[in-house]
Every structure is written in C-alpha cells, then in structure tokens.
A = this chain, B = another copy of it.
Amino acid sequence: MAANSRLTIAVHALAWLELARRRGRGVLTSDEVAASVNTNPVVIRRSLGRLADAGLLTVRRGTGAGWSLARGAEEITLLEVYDAVDPEPVFALHATEPNLECPVGFGIRPALGHVYGAVELGLRRELARTTVADVLAETLRVKQQ
C-alpha cells in the first residue's frame, strides 16, 4: 500500500507556522499555508482541524482569522502530530478471519499482534524524539547549503 502523506502535510504546516511566528506573523490563513504546501486550502483545513482538536493549534474564525501554534514548536513532538492526524496501524492483520480449525489460524493473530505492537511502540518512541522545532532547524539548514 502506498502510505498517506498526512503526517508530512501537518508537520510542514506547523513548521511554516513557527517560521512565520518568528518573522512576526503569529496567525496564517488556510490559503497562506496551502501556498507553501502547494495544495488546496480545504486539505489544509482538514489537517489543521485535527491538530486544533488535539490542542496543538488554536483557530480563530471570522474576519482576520487563521491558525496559530498553541505551544512553542520545541514543545510539539512528531508523536503528538502523528496521533492527531494518523491513527492507523502500520501493519494489518488478515482481511478475512483465518481458519480457526488450524492451530496456526487459531493462534496467529494474537501472536502477530504482539509483534506489531512492539514495532508500533518503537515507531512511537522514535517520533517522540523529534520536535517541530527540530524539523524546522533541519529544514533551514538544508536551505543554506
């Protein structure tokens, strides 16, 4: 399966919001974020809406509205972003229930669930080690090269 790009879009938007904040613009509209990500504003609203639900962003409606970071970028880990936008498991179990008459069919799902749980835990631990500020720093470092 081709993976989705939701985490990428969300982190991109957060990094852009942080850079704009440092430049004195604490609030950006969906159109402004979409211009950097190069996609439709509705895609941005879909993504940032989940981040706002999770408390990572605050959103203001009406004239002069837009999105702003609810916390410092160095306090937002990619794990929080992941949980906010992409609560899908990495590996799926069987599409249809296996044959429970077979000892393997009977016991394999909890056994694999165990392994997949450990994998997912490692993935979460890795995502928790990086913040939006880290990503922005690395992003700007690339720019200078």
How many residues in A have their beta carbons less than 8 Å from beta carbons of B? Answer: 59
Shortest beta-carbon distance from A101 to chain B in Å: 9
Q: Check A104/B139 contact, CB under 8 A, given A5-B93, A7-B91.
A: yes
A111 to B145, CA, bound (A): 13
A115 to B122, CA, bound (A): 13
- Chain B binder among A12-20, A48-56, A62-70: A12-20
- Secondary structure dominating the interface of A: helix
Decide if A1 touches B88 in the complex (CB within 8 Å). yes
Instruction: Report 25 cross-chain contacts, Cβ distance below 8 Å, ordered by A residue.
Output: A1-B2, A3-B88, A5-B94, A7-B91, A8-B91, A8-B93, A9-B94, A12-B98, A12-B108, A15-B104, A16-B104, A37-B99, A38-B105, A78-B115, A104-B139, A107-B139, A107-B140, A107-B141, A111-B139, A111-B141, A114-B138, A115-B127, A115-B135, A119-B123, A119-B127
